Amino acid sequence: MEIRSQVLMVECADRPGMVHGITGVLLRAGVNIISNHEFVDLENGRFYMRTAFEGPSDPAALCLGVQAALPEGAAVSLHPPVPKRLVVLASREHHCLADLLVRNAYSELGAEIVAVVSNHDHLRSLAEKFGVPFHFAPHEGMSREDHDASVARIVASLGPDYLVLAKYMRLLGPAFVAAWPRRIINIHHSFLPAFTGARPYKQAFVRGVKVIGATAHFVTEQIDDGPIIVQQVIPVGHSHTAHDLAQAGRDVERAVLARALKLVLENRVFLCGNRTIIFD
């Protein structure tokens, strides 16, 4: 994934003339627009716009110019073509982490994995095979709060843009989550809102569903309830045991997580309440 263009993201109250105003600022700045996406959430009267452009520009001036063309309270951000920094949290399952490490090794993520943090020592050799620092933060004998805090200290020292929960099988407490708003991406092994909580494949088996799936979402304080970024399903049948479902599901999990990361890292994802707006 090559990142060469800058991306302007705008969110504000809707009113007439918004696109005209923003494109006017960009035109006067002399940049070369590559693509433009807009969406108006009519229900809430919110305007969203993403513009990818190339060319010389003074970021601060550009943002100020755009801001001036918008209603008060507008959120304007400008993302330079610089890889974001990721910290991956994992537990014992390797498949999502391995997929991310391979993509990272071949510069396909549009980001840099700066470290792996885990509550088990199990995946150390996998991370180190790819030259990525591995931090073991054992949870045994610790309260959830204390363990969260120990992970939080490691993460904070790494200064990531996003945290990726690649099958991190622990609940993160409210304090942790609050420290990284809209910055934690989780892969849940079911098509939410079906089968929240533990052992979704077992639940799916018992219910006798004919499709299973995976959901990548932002983490909020409410477990398995954050804004959904990507969902995908595969067909299954009566001959699949709960174990078979889990095995088949792994391929969907890592595909969904990789896809969600690509969208987030290319600055294509906006939040609108508990829903995502995705310009793809």
DSSP state of 195: T
Please, what is the minimum distance in Å from the beta carbon of residue 249 to a second copy?
A: 13
Which listed residue (86, 229, 245, 261) binds a second copy by CB under 8 A?
229
Give, in order, the Cα–Cα distances in Å from 65 to each of 5, 52, 196, 206: 19, 16, 44, 57
Binding to a second copy, residues 72-131 (CB under 8 A): 94-95, 98-99, 102, 106, 108, 129-130
Interface stretch with a second copy, choices 22-30, 66-74, 76-84, 144-152 (CB under 8 A): 22-30
Q: Which is nearer to a second copy, 99 or 148 (CB)?
A: 99
Which listed residue (13, 142, 194, 223) binds a second copy by CB under 8 A?
194
Interface stretch with a second copy, choices 13-21, 82-90, 163-171, 178-186 (CB under 8 A): 13-21
DSSP 219-240: --SSTT-SPEEEEEEEE--TT-
Check if 244 is active-site.
no
Q: What is the dihedral of CA 151, 154, 160, 162, to 10 degrees?
A: -10
Q: How far is CA 173 from the centre of its chain?
A: 18
Q: Which two tokens stand for residue 125?
A: 């050799």
CA 96, CA 123: separation in Å to the nearest integer? 11
Binding site for a second copy (CB under 8 A): 1, 16-17, 19-20, 23-24, 26-27, 32-40, 42-43, 94-95, 98-99, 102, 106, 108, 129-130, 191-195, 206-211, 213, 227-233, 237-239, 241, 247, 251, 255, 258, 272, 274-278
